[in-house]
Amino acid sequence: MTETNAAPVTGHSPNALAAVEAEIVRACKEARRDRASVTLIAVSKTFAADAIIPVIDAGQRVFGENRVQEAKGKWPALTSAYSGIALHLIGPLQSNKAKEAVALFDAIHSVDRPSICQALAKEIESQNRHPELFVQINIGEEPQKAGIAPGEADAFIASCRDSYGLTISGLMCIPPVDEPPAAHFALTAKIAERNGLKKLSMGMSADFATAIMLGATHVRVGSAIFGHR
Ligand SMILES: *Cc1c(COP(=O)(O)O)cnc(C)c1O
C-alpha cells in the first residue's frame, strides 16, 4: 500500500465492500477454508458517520477503530441506530482508557504489556463485560512498533492468564511495511498454535488474501473499503 495525500474519500463504498468480499471468498476457496471462518473488520478510523452508514447499509456489521476517543465520539449513535454492530479496537490502548475501551468495544486487538493487562482485568471484572482479547505481536521486531517480541510471546501469553486471569483468544500482528508479509503471518500463526490460540488478526488492504492463506481469522481492511485516509 502506498501513502498518498489525497483528500479522504467519503460517501462511496458499497462497491468497494463487495469487491473486498469477493476477494475474501476467492482466498477462502483457494485456502480450502469456509468463508465463515474469516471475519471482515471494516476499519473506519478517520471516517465520519456519513461515510460509514452506506457500508452498514450494505450489510457490514463489524468495524475497527484505532482510537478510543474517536470511536466514543462517533459510534454510540450508530450502534443504537443499527442492530448487531460489533466494534473492534485495533490501535494502541493506554491504561487510563481501559474503562472506556471495555465499555465500548467487543474486541481489543492491542494487548501488549502488563499494565494494560492489569487495567483490563480490573474493568472486565467491574463492568462484567468480556471483550475478546488479542495479544499484539511485534512480528518484525521493529523498535517503533507496539507489541510483544516473538521471543517473549509465550511467557507473556501465559502471564495474561496466570497473573491477570485474562482469556486471550488470539494474536494480532502488523508486518513491516517494506517486507513481504507471508513469513510474518506464518510465524504469527505458529506462535498462536503452540500457545493453543485459535484466532489470528492479520492482513490489511494490501495483503488480506495472503493472510487468509496463512490462517487469518480476522482481516482488518480500511482503505480498500473506505478509500484513502
Ligand atoms: C489502519 C489500520 C488497518 C487498516 O489499514 P488499511 O491498509 O487501510 O486496510 C489495519 N490494522 C491496523 C492496526 C490499522 O491501524
Cβ atoms < 10 Å from Cβ of 136 = 26
Instruction: For residue 78, give every residue at least 6 positions away whose Cβ sits within 8 Å of its Cβ, in sequence order, or none.
Output: 49, 52, 53, 56, 85
Name which of 5, 95, 9, 12 is nearest 58 in CA terms: 12
Distance 162 CA to ligand 1 centre (A): 31
Task: Please give the number of the atom of ligand 1 that sits closest to the Cα of 223.
Answer: 8
- Torsion angle in degrees (nearest 10) through CA of 51, 53, 54, 60: 110
Task: Please give the number of the atom of ligand 1 that sits closest to the Cα of 204.
Answer: 9
Q: How does pLDDT run across 102-157, given as a tens digit for each residue?
A: 999 999 999 999 999 999 999 999 999 999 999 999 999 999 999 999 999 999 99
Name which of 105, 64, 68, 69 is nearest 204 in CA terms: 64
| Pair 55, 225: CB distance under 8 Å | yes
Q: What pLDDT band is residue 10 in, cutting at 50, 70 and 90? A: very low
Does the CB atom of residue 219 touch ligand 1 within 6 A? no
Q: How does pLDDT run across 75-103, given as a tens digit for each residue?
A: 999 999 999 999 999 999 999 999 999 99
Distance 203 CA to ligand 1 centre (A): 9
Q: How does pLDDT run across 161-208, given as a tens digit for each residue?
A: 999 999 999 999 999 999 999 999 999 999 999 999 999 999 999 999
Does the CB atom of residue 204 touch ligand 1 within 6 A? yes
Among protein residues, the one with the nearest Cα to ligand 1's atom 4 is 222
Does the CB atom of residue 220 touch ligand 1 within 6 A? yes
Residue to substitute in 171, 218, 220 for testing ligand 1 pocket (most ligand atoms within 8 angstroms of CB): 220
Does the CB atom of residue 66 touch ligand 1 within 6 A? yes
Task: Please give the number of the atom of ligand 1 that sits closest to the Cα of 43.
Answer: 4
Instruction: Output the pLDDT for position 14.
Output: 67
Among protein residues, the one with the nearest Cα to ligand 1's atom 6 is 222
Give pairs for 80-84: CB < 8 Å, separation 24+. 82/56
Task: Please give the number of the atom of ligand 1 that sits closest to the Cα of 226.
Answer: 8
Task: Please give the number of the atom of ligand 1 that sits closest to the Cα of 66.
Answer: 15
